[in-house]
Amino acid sequence: MSLLHKENEFETKSILKENEFESQHGVHFQLIKPSLYAAVQNFMWEHYIPDEPIQRSLNMTRCWLLEQEFKDAMESGCSIAAIKDNKIVGVRLSKVVDKSHWVDWLYEKLLIFLLSLRLVAYLLPRHLKGFPICIKLLNRLKYDVWTQFGLLECDRILLCLALCSARFHGIKGLGTELIKRSDEVGRERGCQYAYTYATGIYSTRIFHKLQYTMGNSVAYDEFRDDEGQLYLKDTREHTHSTIFMKAL
């Protein structure tokens, strides 16, 4: 099935609107529909997970927890794929979070609580052992979209979960274009803010360029266990995880 297969679902004006970037690079942007779910999952595991510093350091393998997180974002109808020559070349996974969605809040808090328990962490299968460390990092960052509703005095936030621009395409500025279009989708869906955290230097540069406000930051070199050992030992050139937000 073609990746450009059209379905009778809601499209936003910002995704359909062509601009100079599309004509210059031959890229088509579209909201991720069910026909693209499997291809996007494969794309993320091939091009995102191996290079993302946290997942790589924790030797994360393909698992249902991450796949469910990706699927939740795609099902929200706000995630975007960049496609060229019928191949996915970039993805921005985002979802709308409304402060009235207390069931989502309860599920998230319960999952985090369970994964934080020492006994549960000990009993986790090998391919899930890294999740408690991820939670430690998020707690250190004080990363929590639910607290932002009160701090930002808003009702709806675009929670941006992952940005991936594959290396093989050589299209300069694709990550920036994906974020711009993601922000437009969030604005059209009634979001007052975008909220995310960057784990690498390249996405951090993009958020600074797009005038996102920088929040808490954790240096990987300072993220250590009680014995002083690094939790993340393969971050390569990346040095920090940093929260970013922007009014839409």
Biggest CA–CA distance in the chain, Å, is 56
Which residue, 142, 146, 145, 177, is CA-closest to 163?
Answer: 177
CA distance 159 to 148: 11
Contact status, residue 50 vs residue 24, Cβ threshold 8 Å: no
- pLDDT tens for 84-107 read 999 999 999 999 999 998 788 887
Average pLDDT over residues 130-138: 90
- pLDDT tens for 135-144 read 999 999 999 9
Fold adopted by 13-247: Aminopeptidase (3.40.630)
- What was the pLDDT predicted at 79? 95
Domain residue extents for the chain: 13-247
